[in-house]
């Protein structure tokens, strides 16, 4: 089995621990939705309900810390959170900042383009995202994952 | 403010408690993805990180109990889980059973249609979904939410 997310980080690493990593997505998606992150479980598992309760809570804590970090650092109009895995059945979450003038709003980012993506919205720095994630995990988990 | 999900259940109610409800979606989506459910937070809140930790964990426990119920009752090839809220900014999760021959696979359900949806896959009964959700919540939460 050759799995893309077993082989490759899938983006620039923002934060990681022994069980999962947060990456800042590159390429076109980074231009369309600056700050787009993925949270990727390390082990090759397909569904959230393949994880035990402890792992599930840990992964969601990281997902929501990433959501909180994006709200603090890039201040989007909305955040979209999704775990699909139809193309790559290796558990990962999309955490996507959305703006009213982005290429698909108010549709999902997987829907056809409604307009060209606006330019001039800079991608957030890795360090700023990292620090915000650490702070949010610390607040939520009493420092366990900081 | 006139919010669709404050006003309307949003589908046939499968399970509910004081803070959220699981509905089986009707219409075209029910034909395309039989068993498609939404988990809707009762209060009008936009983002997961607007909830406190306790509420967030409770909502996710219900979302994953719904995922487990769909896996047990309809046996899809994959489950997609997403909270977007761009159209209706009232916190809700899509829990969508996917099949390799469904109308969009392996794309997201919000992507353009790839093929006509297959017919003859029956929608699961409300009672079967309800019982599977109750069982999964009881296993996970020691019966608190049963």
pLDDT in tens, B26-70: 999 999 999 999 999 999 999 999 999 999 999 999 999 999 999
Which of A108, A136, A141 is the best substitution to test chain B (most B C-beta atoms within 10 A)? A108
Which of B4, B37, B61, B108 is the best substitution to test chain A (most A C-beta atoms within 10 A)? B108
pLDDT in tens, A14-73: 999 999 999 999 999 999 999 999 999 999 999 999 999 999 999 999 999 999 999 999
In B, which residues are within 8 Å of A86 by CB distance? Answer: 78, 80, 98, 105-108
Question: Is any Cβ of chain B less than 8 angstroms from the Cβ of A75?
Answer: no
Q: What is the mean pLDDT of residues A118-143?
A: 89
pLDDT in tens, A24-38: 999 999 999 999 999
List the single residue in A with minimal CA-CA distance to B100.
A86
In B, which residues are within 8 Å of A111 by CB distance? Answer: 110-111
Whole-number pLDDT of residue B146:
35
pTM: 0.95
Whole-number pLDDT of residue B140:
77
SS (HEC) of B88-116: CCCCEEEEEEECCCCCCCCCCCCCCCCCC
What is the share, in percent, of chain B residues with pLDDT greater than 90?
90
Question: What gap in Å lies between CA A5 and CA A88, rounded to an integer?
Answer: 8
List the single residue in B with minimal CA-CA distance to A45.
B78
In A, which residues are within 8 Å of B98 by CB distance? Answer: 86
CB–CB contact A80 B82 (8 Å): yes
A65 to chain B, closest Cα gap in Å: 8
Residue A140 has pLDDT above 90, yes or no: no
Residue A143 has pLDDT above 80, yes or no: no
Burial class of residue B8, CB neighbours in 10 A (0-12, 13-18, 19+): exposed
CB–CB contact B110 A105 (8 Å): no
Residues in Cβ contact with B7 at an 8 Å cutoff, skipping those fewer than 6 apart: none
Question: What is the interface pTM, i.e. ipTM, of the complex?
Answer: 0.94
Whole-number pLDDT of residue A142:
61
Q: Is the peptide bond before B106 cis (omega within 30 degrees of 0)?
A: yes
Question: What gap in Å lies between CA A78 and CA B34, rounded to an integer?
Answer: 29
Residues in Cβ contact with A128 at an 8 Å cutoff, skipping those fewer than 6 apart: A73
End-to-end CA gap in chain B: 33
B106 to chain A, closest Cα gap in Å: 5
Question: Is any Cβ of chain B less than 8 angstroms from the Cβ of A71?
Answer: yes
Question: What gap in Å lies between CA B55 and CA B52, rounded to an integer?
Answer: 6
Confidence of residue A145 (pLDDT cuts 50, 70, 90): very low
List the single residue in A with minimal CA-CA distance to B53.
A140
- Sheet of B20-24, strands arranged across: A12-16, A20-24, A37-41, A92-98, A78-83, B78-83, B92-98, B37-41, B20-24, B12-16
Please count the residue pairs, one from chain A and one from chain B, whose beta carbons lie less than 8 angstroms apart: 94
């Amino acid at each position: 089995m050759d799995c893309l997310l077993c082989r490759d980080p899938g983006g620039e690493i923002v934060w990681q621990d022994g069980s999962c990593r947060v990456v800042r997505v590159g390429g076109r998606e980074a231009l369309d939705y600056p700050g787009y992150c993925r949270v990727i479980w390390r082990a090759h598992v397909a569904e959230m309900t393949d994880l035990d309760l402890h792992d599930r809570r840990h992964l969601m804590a990281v997902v929501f810390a990433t959501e909180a970090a994006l709200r603090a650092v890039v201040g989007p109009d909305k955040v979209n959170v999704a775990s699909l895995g139809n193309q790559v059945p290796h558990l990962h979450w999309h955490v996507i900042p959305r703006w009213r003038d982005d290429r698909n709003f108010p549709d999902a980012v997987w829907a056809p383009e409604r307009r060209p993506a606006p330019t001039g919205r800079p991608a957030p720095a890795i360090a700023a995202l990292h620090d915000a994630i650490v702070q949010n995990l610390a607040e939520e988990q009493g420092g366990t994952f900081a």
